[in-house]
Structure 1
Amino acid sequence: MIRSLLLATALAAPGVAHAQAVPEAQRKAILSDVDGRAPALATTARAIWDYAEVGFQETRSSGLLQSELKKAGFVVSAGVAGMPTAFVASFRNGKGPVIAVLAEFDALPGLAQEARPERAPIAGKPAGHGCGHNIFGAASITAAMAVKDWMVANKIQGEIRVYGTPAEEGGSGKVYMVRAGLFDDVDAVLHWHPADQNGVAVGKSQSNISGKFRFYGLAAHASAAPDKGRSALDGVEVMDVAVNFLREHVPIGTRIHYIVTNGGQAPNVVPDFAESYYYVRNTDPAIVRSVMERVQKAADGAALATGTTVKFEATGGVYSMLASKTLATVMQRSLQTVGGEKWSPEETQWATALQKTLPTQKALESVYTIDPIWTGDSGGSTDVSDISWVVPTIGMNAATWVPGTPAHSWQAVAASGNSIGAKGGVVAAKTIALTAAELFDSPQVLAEARKELLAARGADFKYKALLGDRAPALDYRKPASGGGTGAD
């Protein structure tokens, strides 16, 4: 991730409204509330780490978060926007602002790893929390519970709302929630993400469209009667060659990457089915649409050249981030109030051992500090971005991993199941809770954030999901199947 470091004050336009500071006694009460819930946060995060459920299959993970929120007095609506594991939990205390907190909980396939500082795959386990979403969800509900307690104790008017958002990793779960209008009445959205440092970010992420290209051919004996067959795998491979030549002729900053998810069942059978899984990324959603259309034409040409047919299914599509600079100043101030986490000697020893496996060495002490607001663009994508085009949105990173740890790695999985991960989650929960509390009492800031959003997206903007009007791709993590096998 490219990061430009600027002071938070330099981001806000002159004359921007300032948040109403929460009285010190109330701030201390909120922080104490989160501290009291820290053991439960760690227990919940570890349980979801153990479940390690991939996108749209997070039944136990989602159910656990919902159960905890219900016990805390939230009203929960489950299975929203056509997704069985999505939910919205709400606590309303009269009429006032609606502040939302996002909670993710899906794992990544192929990253099962024990919570140890050396490579230790877990045999038979298909997935692992390489992006720390187990802590994400646990910390977010902890923040919302602390805000709810503060609202009750101080007779604060408004609504704190938690969105349980499945399938962030490629399934675009939040897009379906935006498309269903579930954020239409929200005044501000707060989120966070596990990382190896602490800071607030306002840079752009990558817009993307992802999808699967399924080629259909004709099976035949690969040696005795190859002329009778039409290889679906040939279609996939010709398409891949065409797209690789296309890379020279796309706008700078565009990323195209793919895997072959099914290449046939046996070498002696001409494959009648094959599938590839593609991503196209750029910070500009219009460029992503245009390049993906060209990738689809490459697939059509490959099918024509190989005598096969091809079908494309868009499984995901997200905008680039349009973060609120107005809200960033509030969250940055809250994060600086909270400060970084403190590791025990045992945790430091564990982190030191794990750091020896990392290609990039960073000072362990960086987890104790708070970075200035980041303005650089990200190399990754997130479905939070779609929310940011319809509601003022801001997010932060908390140091849940050993410094130098890349996301989507076994090292991230290990730390996400360790106590250092949970401690980073406490920093996030405290920061989000303090930020929400300030916003409830700062109508001018919310109005300024809305004004900033309208100006940034343009007067003619109308939200249209990049994945179109398709239903949620609930099976996007299931392996591709098709074709047969041969015996000789």
Structure 2
Amino acid sequence: MARSKHIGIDTMTDESRKDILRLLEEIAPKPEKLALDLWKNPELGLEERYAADRYEEILSLEGFQVQRGIGDLDTAISASWGSGSPFIGFLGEYDALPGIAEDGGPGHGCGHNLLGAASLGAAMALKKYMEKLNLSGTVVFYGCPAEENNGGKVYMARDGCFSELDAALTWHPSDVNAVWEAGTLALNACNFVFKGVTSHAAKSPEAGRSALDGAILMDVGVNYLREHMIQEARIHSVITSGGKTPNVVPAEATICYYVRAPRRDQVEPLFERVVNCAKGAALMTDTTFEIDMIDGLYDYLPNPVLNKVASKIMSELGGPKFDAVDREKAAKLQSSLPEKTVKEAFKKYGATADFLGRELSDVYLPGGGPMAKGKTMAGSTDVGDVSHVVPTIQITTCTMPIGTSLHSWQSNESFGSTIGLKGMNFASQVLALTALELLKDESLLKKAKDAFERDTEGEPYESPLIPGARPKIR
């Protein structure tokens, strides 16, 4: 596997591409400053008020029409510029994670401080380019909160926030530069809250109805259910509350379930069987239960037409331009990882250190390793819901040392450094140039839409959320 050569502004043959890259260089200080600002001020999902304020301020000054509070989410943003078609959307995120920083505090272990800023930079560059040439079309930036704990995009999709788009573009921080061509698992996440009757466990046990017994017996039923579900499905559970002391029959107990499968139409019948386990447990224990919906996600639906456009651009650009200082920092962070973990990363990507890079990857990874076409990744993402509303493209870029796990202190450290910023800027380039191709060649959007209709079989998006579900701070 040969390493691709970096192509800079001076060697690009297309003048429009050169213009986009020049614009990105000019505006880069704004997204970089924002990314570092949010890294220093991490906020958990649905609490990203500082981040939303900063995005609203920047977008307003850049001439976008900003709408706050879309999708029943106080910290969600839609910012649009232009008129008419095509409608090109850029997805941004900015929520942090608890307990991620090295000192145990909240932090951006998933790199959402970078994610939103790169999409912002791409949207700003495309807007300036279209404005300069007086081109028709609409650029929309979406600030999407609570990806980690509530699936903010699911609420936004339910309320039709993405329906106007012809294409949605996004990315995610990673340790490689690749196009995300694999699917992800659809998901239902919810709490089953059992209600019983409290009593003294020794003096009057006959008067009590144990909610904890209900939760435990439900889990017994689900454990037997696992034998009779498809191999690719996953069910995870944890009892989050079940009483305070053994001598009091618990009047309330909560067990949380994540139910996953490769497709939405596989999750729904499996989830009904999980609900039936709860019904049986409640009947056996003379208790009742309520379902508190946390999240409902579609599987990610890759679009082959958009993937091909982004793949070509990434192969031409190569990857981020890291320097010796970046590599020294990366080597130090990488040394804190188990040696086996780093070796397994190269194996996972099917590449050697000579090709991929030893500490940091500055090349495009064709095929994407575990993100390759036809594969299903083990996790879930609310980008999946967007991909069932509109043709969607998602890429990854190297923003941390190879072998580093997301949601770790090492990734958080990387995302607040020049390593993260350079990977972020590369993501902006790929997203903006992909959008440019969609503007230049109208047939690409038609082909993308045709592929979308084929893969969804023409079925309209139906929200996986139960009626009346509202996002909650958890």
1:469 is matched with which residue? 467
2:79 is matched with which residue? 89
Deviation, structure 1 residue 227: 4.0
Asked whether 1:372 is paired with 2:351, we answer no
| Conservation of the 8 A alpha-carbon contact between 2:359 and 2:401 | no
Residue aligned with 2:28, SS:
helix
The 1:309/1:95 distance shift into structure 2, 3 A limit, reads closer
The 1:222/1:35 distance shift into structure 2, 3 A limit, reads farther
User: Counterpart amino acid of 2:170?
Assistant: H
| Conservation of the 8 A alpha-carbon contact between 1:222 and 1:267 | yes
26-35 or 396-405, which moves further after superposition? 26-35
1:176 is matched with which residue? 155
**Inter-partner Cα distance in structure 1 for 2:219 and 2:285:** 13
Residues paired across the two proteins, number: 444
Asked whether 1:46 is paired with 2:36, we answer yes
Deviation, structure 1 residue 267: 4.2
**Inter-partner Cα distance in structure 1 for 2:439 and 2:298:** 28
| Conservation of the 8 A alpha-carbon contact between 2:24 and 2:429 | yes
2:8 is matched with which residue? none
CA displacement 1:241-299 (0-9 Å, x = unmatched): 22122111111100111222223234443322221221111112111001111111112
User: Which one of the candidate residues 76, 90, 103 is aligned to 1:121?
Assistant: 103
- Scaled by the length of structure 1, the TM-score of the pair is 0.86
**Inter-partner Cα distance in structure 1 for 2:326 and 2:312:** 28
Runs (5+) with no aligned partner, structure 1: 6-21, 114-119, 478-488
User: Counterpart amino acid of 1:443?
Assistant: E
Deviation, structure 1 residue 424: 1.0
2:26 is matched with which residue? 36
Deviation, structure 1 residue 189: 0.7
Residue aligned with 1:269, SS:
coil
CA displacement 1:427-467 (0-9 Å, x = unmatched): 111110111111112111111111111111114x1221111
Deviation, structure 1 residue 23: 6.7
2:46 is matched with which residue? 56
User: Which one of the candidate residues 198, 208, 211 is aligned to 1:229?
Assistant: 208
2:422 is matched with which residue? 423
2:194 is matched with which residue? 215
User: Counterpart amino acid of 2:403?
Assistant: G
User: Counterpart amino acid of 1:108?
Assistant: L
1:105 is matched with which residue? 94
| Conservation of the 8 A alpha-carbon contact between 2:87 and 2:140 | yes
The 1:276/1:414 distance shift into structure 2, 3 A limit, reads farther
**Inter-partner Cα distance in structure 2 for 1:228 and 1:133:** 51
Residue aligned with 1:368, SS:
coil
1:436 is matched with which residue? 435
**Inter-partner Cα distance in structure 2 for 1:176 and 1:159:** 23
The 1:227/1:351 distance shift into structure 2, 3 A limit, reads farther
The within-5 A match list for 1:295-444 is 295-359=274-338, 360-361=341-342, 362=346, 363=353, 364=358, 367-373=361-367, 374-375=372-373, 376-444=375-443
Deviation, structure 1 residue 46: 2.3
**Inter-partner Cα distance in structure 1 for 2:242 and 2:28:** 47
Deviation, structure 1 residue 226: 4.0
Deviation, structure 1 residue 306: 2.5
| Conservation of the 8 A alpha-carbon contact between 1:83 and 1:474 | no
Residue aligned with 1:449, SS:
helix
Residue aligned with 1:312, SS:
strand
| Conservation of the 8 A alpha-carbon contact between 2:114 and 2:421 | yes
Deviation, structure 1 residue 205: 0.9
CA-based RMSD of the aligned residues comes to 2.0
User: Counterpart amino acid of 2:179?
Assistant: V
| Conservation of the 8 A alpha-carbon contact between 1:168 and 1:174 | yes
2:7 is matched with which residue? none
Asked whether 1:202 is paired with 2:181, we answer yes
User: Which one of the candidate residues 147, 153, 156 is aligned to 2:132?
Assistant: 153
54-63 or 144-153, which moves further after superposition? 54-63
386-395 or 267-276, which moves further after superposition? 267-276
| Conservation of the 8 A alpha-carbon contact between 2:218 and 2:278 | yes
2:57 is matched with which residue? 67
**Inter-partner Cα distance in structure 2 for 1:129 and 1:357:** 19
User: Counterpart amino acid of 1:175?
Assistant: V
- Scaled by the length of structure 2, the TM-score of the pair is 0.88
| Conservation of the 8 A alpha-carbon contact between 2:173 and 2:396 | yes
CA displacement 1:286-323 (0-9 Å, x = unmatched): 11001111111112222222332211122211111111
**Inter-partner Cα distance in structure 1 for 2:391 and 2:25:** 28
**Inter-partner Cα distance in structure 1 for 2:421 and 2:230:** 41
